[in-house]
A and B are shown apart, each in its own frame.
Chain A
Amino acid sequence: MNLLRTLQTVDRRVLYALLLLSVTIPFFLTMKIPVKISPSTQKLYDTVESIPEGSFVIFGTDWSAGTRGENGAQTEALMRHVMRHKLRFAILCFDPQSATLAQTIAERLQPEYGYKEGVNWTNWGYRVQEVLFFKALANDVVNTVKADNHGAPIQTLPVMKGVTSAADVKLLLNVNPTNTYTYYIQFLQGPFHIPMVFACTAVMAPEAFNYVESGQISGMLNGLMGAIEYEQLLGVVGRATKDSNCLSFAHLLIIFLMVMGNVAMVLERRAKKAEFSYNAAGGSQ
Chain B
Amino acid sequence: MNAPGAVSVWLTANTHAMVLWIGAICTLGLYSVLYKENKIFRFFEHLFLGLATGYMIAINWNDVLLPKWWTPFFTNGEWWWAFALAVGSLFYFIYSKKYNWMARLVIGLFLGVGAGQQFQAFVNYVWPQIYTSFKPLWAHDAIAAVNGHPAVKALNWGEARNNIIFMAILLCVMSYFFFSFEQKHPVLKHSAGLGRFLMMFTFGAIFGSTIMARLALLIDRMDFLMNDVGGQAAGPDNGPKLVFTVLLALIALVLYLSLRKGGAGNGDGVAEEL
Give residues in A with beta carbon < 8 Å to B.
Answer: 11-14, 16-17, 19-21, 23-24, 27-28, 64, 66-70, 72-73, 96-97, 99, 125-126, 128, 131, 135, 147, 149, 151, 182, 185-187, 189-191, 201-207, 210-211, 213-216, 222-225, 239, 242-243, 246-247, 250-251, 254
25 A-B residue pairings within 8 Å (CB atoms): A12-B267, A20-B218, A27-B240, A28-B240, A68-B217, A68-B220, A70-B220, A125-B63, A126-B59, A128-B64, A149-B63, A186-B121, A186-B124, A187-B121, A202-B210, A203-B209, A206-B205, A213-B132, A223-B209, A239-B223, A243-B216, A243-B220, A243-B223, A246-B219, A247-B216
Give residues in B with beta carbon < 8 Å to A.
Answer: 34-35, 52, 55-56, 59-60, 63-64, 67, 117, 120-121, 123-125, 128-129, 132, 202, 205-206, 209-213, 215-223, 226-227, 240-241, 244, 247, 251, 254-255, 258-259, 266-267
Docked complex Cα distance between A189 and B110 (Å): 24
**Contact check: which of A13, A96, A202 meets B34 at CB < 8 Å?**
A13
Chain B: which residue is nearest A253 at the CB level? Answer: B215
Q: Which of A24, A126, A189 has the most CB of B within 10 A?
A: A24
Q: How far is the CB of B226 from chain A (nearest CB, A)?
A: 6
Known contacts A13-B267, A186-B120; decide if A24 and B63 are in contact (CB<8 Å): no
- By the criterion CB–CB under 8 Å, are B123 and A214 in contact? no
**What A residues does B258 contact at CB under 8 A?**
11, 13-14
- By the criterion CB–CB under 8 Å, are A23 and B128 in contact? no
**What B residues does A210 contact at CB under 8 A?**
129
**Contact check: which of A69, A182, A215 meets B219 at CB < 8 Å?**
A69
**Contact check: which of A67, A135, A242 meets B217 at CB < 8 Å?**
A67
- By the criterion CB–CB under 8 Å, are A17 and B251 in contact? yes
- By the criterion CB–CB under 8 Å, are A11 and B219 in contact? no
**What B residues does A19 contact at CB under 8 A?**
218
**What B residues does A207 contact at CB under 8 A?**
206
**What A residues does B222 contact at CB under 8 A?**
20, 23-24, 27, 246
- By the criterion CB–CB under 8 Å, are A17 and B255 in contact? yes
**What B residues does A17 contact at CB under 8 A?**
251, 254-255
Q: How far is the CB of A39 from chain B (nearest CB, A)?
A: 12
- By the criterion CB–CB under 8 Å, are B125 and A185 in contact? yes
Q: How far is the CB of A58 from chain B (nearest CB, A)?
A: 17
- By the criterion CB–CB under 8 Å, are A24 and B247 in contact? yes
- By the criterion CB–CB under 8 Å, are A185 and B124 in contact? yes
